[in-house]
Amino acid sequence: MASSKSQNTNRLLIGTVCAFLSFFLLYCLISAKSTGMIGEALSNIMMGVFGFGSYVIPAILLWFSILYFRLALQLRTRLDLVFSIFTVVLFSVMFELFKSYGHGDGGWIGVNLMPFFMKFFGFYLSVFIISIILIFLVTRLLRLSTRKMISYFWFSLIEDIKNWRANRLEKQKEKAKIIKNGKSKEIKKEEPVFEQEKPNIVESEQQEKKKQTVPEPKEIREKIDSKGFAYKLPTLNLLRDGGDINVVLSEDALHERAERLRQTLADFNIECSVKDIIPGPVITRYDIILAPGIKIQSVLNLSDNISLAMKTSAIRIVPVPEKSAVGIEIPNPRASLVCLKSILETEDFISSKSLLTLALGTTTEGKGYIADLAKMPHLLVAGATGAGKSVGIHGIILSILYKARPDEVKFMLIDPKRVELTVYQDIPHLYDPCCMAEDAKVITQPKNAASALKRLVSIMEARYEKYAKHVVRNIDDYNKKMSETGEEEKDYFIVVIIDELADLMLVASKEIEDSIQRLAQMARAVGIHLILATQRPSTNVITGVIKANFPARIAFQTTSNIDSRVILDTIGAEDLIGKGDMLFLTPAEARPVRLQGAFVSTKEASTVVRFIAEQEFPRIYEPLIVETSVSSVSTIEDKANKDLIPALKLILERRRISQDLLKANFGSSARATNILSVLEMREFISKPEGTNRWEINFAKIEEYILENE
């Protein structure tokens, strides 16, 4: 971290020096006499050596300064300092330019720099160029988006023109109506047969009402239907290029490792022969044929010895029934980087017709692995911290963004940690059943998440009623029928992604689990799919109800075989090597498939989001109106919050805290546990690593009690 900061500091310094030299050399070439002895000497040397080619030198130096500034953009504060200096200098020059007209004074800097601009550009062009540069610098300093400002004023102008035209047409219609009514009154005076004309007037009024009411559904349909919007799917050049995913060890090295493996097994009296060597980007699988009479269990028991002999951290041993062999997966000395772009370029992904196609990674052979969320139909993702779970979630979201328009797939993103999914805040695919489309955001509050999931259950039931009315079985049949008949709008798929299920289960376990259970059991047919991710694969988070309804599961590296059994119902995830190494269990297969997850950085995700957001696709959907509110969701945290002030007073009185103390004063172990959780989350108490005693923040407790009483 420190080295990257020092590198950025050096880049900023070099960029500043290059910019100064570029300007100084150009000044010397144009106005040599006003630069003194040094400037005149430099000008004579450059013109004598290069002639008019000397004017290229400042341009090259300016280009290098731009490159170094771009590389140093991470150092925002230092870059702001440079921008501030340039702003002050340019304002001085601007004031000196206007001094000749009796306005302003540019000081020493303005006096010395103004002749350069006047000689090179003239008065009017100098004012224009300096104004443009100042606008750029000021917007950078104030963190304003020039593009958004221009687009805002432009669209406001267009909207005002449309409103003016609409008002003008209405006034013309009103005038025409008044003239028409005046003429009809004259006719009535000449022919006072009111009784006979009345039915005609009523009919004409009814026809007018029909004419007025008929276009309204069309206007609503045009507002809802965004198929006419020229939306462009993201391009692959927005993602980084990785190395070849099939980069492996040399053939000699592979055979040498195979012989070492055979010799290691022979040392333990296990005779075998290596049948196949299957190299991959991260691991290489050696398929061995055991001698007759040797059990597979004898090889499994030697996994640690084999790992030591092969100089690797962990190996995985799996039967290969189709070959009557045992596969030993050994990590390569150097792993190749598997990038998402290399998977999206594969023919399998491009030719896939499903909007919910997922580019998960590569197999042990180095081939891109594609899966369809619609067939799973829900996905459970779990693994230890740092194993690659969040990167895998980014890969799943980007895979769908590369396939589907915003009116075809919506994302309901729930991120209690507030750090992983907020990068997708600006995409028009966002969905929140508790608010209108333009207000949809990534859901970060557990209460809001519980309320949104509960509302989504109601939307699922409403879709089932609609499908029964149209006599269709699922969303595909319904969309096909609507495209043929045009009676109603097509339904969009809804992908619900919860990045940290454990946090939600801690706060509102009953409500969350009930909603997830109902959605997992029934939502597939109406196009609602769930992806749950957690770094705590324990039984109180991944309950039996959740596991039963999530046959498709991804397990990244786990800390123990117990966690592996919770996720996959089998061991194996504890032997993974991390950094995207995963086991993928599908409903169609009995054994999990080992994959290397595709890497995608936050910067790549931000680039794709920016590309989508700049198209300004209309955020349009109509949420189901249900009489529910966030406050109606009863959570464990609500109950614990009621006991918070009494608990804090108890701590101040006793000067200590324990579960037994809370249980004695509040009645039950569960209630005491909930209060302890809230106290720890709000940092009133903490337990340092390696100790079993609570540390109490008495100052914070006293301040909180004073503010809330």
- Of 594, 561, 427, 590, the closest CA to residue 497 belongs to 427
**608 plus 671 within the same structural domain:** no
For the chain, give the number of residues: 709
**651 plus 557 within the same structural domain:** no
Specify the residue for token string 């333990």.
Answer: 268
3-state class of 344 per DSSP? Answer: helix
Tally of structural domains, the chain: 4
**609 plus 665 within the same structural domain:** no
pTM (predicted TM-score): 0.58
CATH number for the domain that contains residue 694: 1.10.10.10
Query: For position 225, what pLDDT does the model report?
Result: 43
CATH number for the domain that contains residue 324: 3.30.980.40
3-state class of 25 per DSSP? Answer: helix
Q: What are the tokens at 622?
A: 């109509």
**547 plus 591 within the same structural domain:** yes
Confidence label for 5 from pLDDT (cuts 50, 70 and 90): low
- Structure-model confidence comparison of residues 593 and 40, the more confident one: 593
Q: What are the tokens at 37?
A: 């002895």
- Using the 8-state DSSP alphabet, how is residue 688 labeled? -
**430 plus 303 within the same structural domain:** no
3-state class of 575 per DSSP? Answer: helix
**506 plus 606 within the same structural domain:** yes
Range of the domain at 429: 340-618
CA distance readout (Å), 476 to 223, 350, 403, 482: 23, 20, 16, 10
Query: For position 488, what pLDDT does the model report?
Result: 84
Is there a domain that residue 284 lies in?
yes
Is there a domain that residue 183 lies in?
yes
**583 plus 474 within the same structural domain:** yes
Confidence label for 403 from pLDDT (cuts 50, 70 and 90): very high
Contact 605, 424 (CB under 8 A): yes
Q: Which of 565, 589, 618 is the last residue of a domain?
A: 618
Mean pLDDT computed over every residue of the chain: 79
Percentage of the residues of the chain whose pLDDT score is greater than 90: 21
HSE on the CB side for 437, CA within 13 Å?
Answer: 14
**277 plus 369 within the same structural domain:** no
- Structure-model confidence comparison of residues 136 and 151, the more confident one: 136
Is there a domain that residue 141 lies in?
no
Cα–Cα distance for residue pair 379/171, rounded to 1 Å: 58
- Evaluated on CA atoms 21, 23, 27, 29, the torsion sign reads positive
**270 plus 176 within the same structural domain:** no
3-state class of 250 per DSSP? Answer: coil
pLDDT in tens, 197-208: 344 434 444 444
- Structure-model confidence comparison of residues 153 and 395, the more confident one: 395
pLDDT in tens, 687-703: 776 677 888 888 888 88
**392 plus 450 within the same structural domain:** yes
Is there a domain that residue 28 lies in?
no
Q: Which of 193, 213, 233 is the last residue of a domain?
A: 213
Contacts of 488 (CB under 8 A, 6+ apart): 482
φ, ψ for residue 166 (rounded to 5)?
Answer: -65, -45
pLDDT for 540 beyond 60: yes
pLDDT in tens, 641-666: 677 888 888 888 888 888 888 877 87
**357 plus 301 within the same structural domain:** no
**377 plus 436 within the same structural domain:** yes
- Of 546, 457, 541, 510, the closest CA to residue 633 belongs to 510
- Structure-model confidence comparison of residues 626 and 504, the more confident one: 504
